[in-house]
């Protein structure tokens, strides 16, 4: 879907960050998941979102078109990069939609740069380690490059054929998750922006944790859909062969963004 799109680059905090702009309307930033590109996370819903929003779809440090640089890769740094990109684009306020690791970044954008945030959508993420399904952290500590989803590898290599860069990105993401830091509950409670918390009922995050996040935030809504990690938006790596166009969350997301 992005073959005819010419993305742009912006210098943000020393990073040459890739972004694409689609559509017109209120600004909506899309932040992909770990190991992903903007296409593998949002490719199936981006055209619909661009019909009513000015979509700013980014690729974060070391992912897709955005090359790595010699600095730590943290959710806090990613949040600061998003904030700097918005300033670069002269966007005073935006809606932020993050999936998985991108949703962790979204939480930090809301915490570190609340003046830039209108609404947030946090999909398939947790704010503390206890929010993951049983065995997730053991699995993460034993992660192997061979176990990285093949659609992520293929998407990266289509953009950048450097296999060493792909492996370095994988190691960056795994290391970050292995050193995951809890966000204090009082910080989550301090988020004032309207929020939509989204997950699948067989997700990485437990439904119970999604409910807890929804109840902790001041002004939140909750949506739980059947399926796993990103099935509900048609995420490329988790969508089953018989779910070629499963974007059941789209109407809920569009309604939340429209303010109805």
Per-residue pLDDT reduced to its tens digit, 126-138: 999 999 999 999 9
Spatial separation of the C-alpha atoms in residues 88 and 39, rounded to whole Å:
23
Spatial separation of the C-alpha atoms in residues 106 and 76, rounded to whole Å:
10
CA of 54: how far to CAs of 6, 21, 95, 256, in Å? 16, 7, 10, 15
5 has a pLDDT exceeding 80:
no
The pLDDT value recorded for residue 246 is: 79
Residue 26 forms beta bridges with which residues? 53
The pLDDT value recorded for residue 242 is: 59
In this prediction the pTM is 0.95
The pLDDT value recorded for residue 3 is: 41
User: What mean pLDDT is predicted for residues 29-41?
Assistant: 97
2 has a pLDDT exceeding 50:
no
Spatial separation of the C-alpha atoms in residues 230 and 220, rounded to whole Å:
20
The pLDDT value recorded for residue 4 is: 47
Going by C-alpha positions, the residue among 18, 16, 93 that lies closest to residue 54 is: 93
Spatial separation of the C-alpha atoms in residues 236 and 152, rounded to whole Å:
8
The pLDDT value recorded for residue 25 is: 95
Per-residue pLDDT reduced to its tens digit, 180-195: 999 999 999 999 999 9
Strand 220-225, strand 8-12: pairing:
unpaired
Helix (H, G, I), strand (E, B) or coil at 26: strand
Helix (H, G, I), strand (E, B) or coil at 163: helix
Report the Cα 131 to chain-centroid distance in Å.
17
1 has a pLDDT exceeding 60:
no
CA angle 167, 22, 7 (to 5 degrees): 45
Helix (H, G, I), strand (E, B) or coil at 86: helix
Per-residue pLDDT reduced to its tens digit, 23-34: 999 999 999 999
What domains, with CATH codes, occur in the chain?
Answer: 8-258 (3.40.50.1820)
Size of the chain, expressed as the number of residues it contains? 260
Percent of the chain with pLDDT over 90: 92
Per-residue pLDDT reduced to its tens digit, 142-174: 999 999 999 999 999 999 999 999 999 999 999
260 has a pLDDT exceeding 90:
no
Q: What confidence tier does 240 reach under pLDDT thresholds 50, 70, 90? A: low
User: What mean pLDDT is predicted for residues 201-219?
Assistant: 97
207 has a pLDDT exceeding 90:
yes
101 has a pLDDT exceeding 60:
yes
The pLDDT value recorded for residue 59 is: 98
243 has a pLDDT exceeding 60:
no
**Mean pLDDT of the chain, nearest integer:** 94
Q: Which two tokens stand for residue 108?
A: 């930090």
């Amino acid at each position: 879907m992005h073959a005819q799109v010419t993305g742009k680059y912006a210098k943000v905090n020393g990073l040459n960050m890739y972004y694409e702009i689609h559509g017109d309307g209120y600004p909506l930033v899309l932040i992909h998941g770990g190991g992903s590109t903007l296409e593998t996370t949002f490719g199936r819903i981006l055209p619909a979102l661009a019909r009513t929003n000015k979509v700013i779809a980014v690729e974060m440090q070391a992912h897709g078109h955005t090359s790595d640089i010699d600095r730590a890769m943290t959710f806090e740094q990613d949040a600061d990069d998003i904030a700097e990109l918005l300033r670069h684009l002269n966007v005073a306020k935006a809606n932020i939609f993050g999936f998985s690791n991108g949703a962790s970044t979204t939480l930090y954008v809301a915490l570190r740069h609340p003046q830039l945030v209108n609404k947030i959508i946090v999909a398939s993420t947790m704010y503390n380690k206890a929010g993951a399904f049983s065995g997730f952290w053991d699995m993460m500590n034993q992660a192997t490059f061979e176990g990285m989803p093949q659609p992520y590898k293929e998407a990266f290599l289509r953009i950048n054929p450097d296999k060493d860069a792909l492996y370095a990105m994988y190691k960056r993401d795994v290391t970050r998750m292995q050193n995951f830091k809890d966000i204090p509950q009082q910080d989550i409670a301090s988020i004032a922006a309207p929020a939509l918390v989204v997950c699948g009922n067989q997700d990485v995050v437990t439904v119970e944790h999604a409910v807890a996040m929804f109840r902790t935030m001041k002004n939140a809504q909750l949506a739980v859909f059947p399926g796993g990690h990103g099935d509900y938006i048609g995420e490329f790596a988790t969508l089953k062969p018989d779910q070629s166009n499963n974007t059941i969350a789209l109407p809920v997301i569009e309604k939340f963004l429209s303010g109805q």
